[in-house]
Amino acid sequence: MLFATCTDIHVDDREPVLDLISGLFCQLYTDKGDISKTLLQQLKEKVMALITRVRSNMKPIEHTEFDTALLRQRSLVETVFDQLKICVK
């Protein structure tokens, strides 16, 4: 993880993404709830890839073995984040 930001509870999680990744060349790994057509278009303009599982109403996406392995590790990362949230309370 290179950068992090804290936002209000009423702020959409997708809103600060472009500020966080400005000046970077990267691939973003996220859950399928963070997909939006606007965000995908903005990332394409910046030549960045959003790697995620697809929703049931989306066309299947082919991922490399590396990307698939990283997507499988998301649950571990989410568990750590959940534990951090509990500690902060």
What's the pLDDT score for residue 36? 80
Prediction pTM value: 0.59
User: Domain residue spans in the chain?
Assistant: 17-88
The mean pLDDT values, 10 residues at a time, for the chain of 89 residues are 73 77 77 77 81 79 86 83 82
Show the 3-state SS of 45-81.
HCCCEEECCCCCCCCCCCCCHHHHHHHHCHHHHHHHH
CA distance 38 to 18: 11
| Cβ–Cβ under 8 Å, residues 24 and 43 | no
